[in-house]
Amino acid sequence: MKVSKITNGFVVQQYDTDTGRCVAQEFVAGDQVAYENEDGEPVDWREPQDGYQPFEMVQPANMSRGSGVGSSGKTVLKIEVDYDDSMTDPEALAAAMDRLLKTVRCTPGILDEYGNPSFGMFFVAEPGKCDCEYPGFYYSGVPGIIAHMKDGRLAPGAKVERCDLCRRYPSDAAALQRLRELGYAPP
């Protein structure tokens, strides 16, 4: 069973009065939390102690402004980390890297020459699991298929692609057909 955690809170946005642009934002979580099953019904469930996920928001400098300028490329970067397991663990290292990247994103001008790319969160890879099986914007929930989903279905106008890493489907068309068979995409 999949459970959705709904956290009430508020968004704080900081504006530059000289430019009139939003320069930073953050989500501040409140104390009220609810859990729902896939049908939207309340469930009595509590996440594990180590199950906290940060409420990272895309910063305005990293947002796509729909200008049509530049590319909309996407890539997955992998890093290998040697660490002292008596001092830390892989999940803590991923959280530290998220914090480090947040600092980089909030440093004015540091990524300008790279087109101010936006970054997802760091996570610990599981052996034998393909990149397409990790949550993210293009996570379809179906191994081997990359597509943006909304409310458990293919988002309007979203492109469907087969994962070129694991190649579980022979083509993008076959991946789309599989989503249709599962009822996740319109016929």
Under a CB-based contact definition with an 8 Å cutoff, are residues 172 and 140 in contact?
no
Q: What's this model's pTM, rounded to 2 decimal places? A: 0.39
23: alpha, beta or left, given left = phi > 0 and alpha = psi -120 to 50? alpha
Query: Cα-flanking dihedrals φ and ψ of residue 39, to 5°?
Result: -90, 5
Under a CB-based contact definition with an 8 Å cutoff, are residues 22 and 13 in contact?
yes
Q: Could you tell me the residue ranges of all domains in the chain?
A: 1-59, 75-124, 127-187
* Residue the block writes with tokens 């859990």: 35
pLDDT averaged per 10 residues in sequence order, the chain, 187 residues: 83 80 79 83 77 66 44 72 89 87 81 82 77 84 92 91 91 95 92
Under a CB-based contact definition with an 8 Å cutoff, are residues 103 and 119 in contact?
no
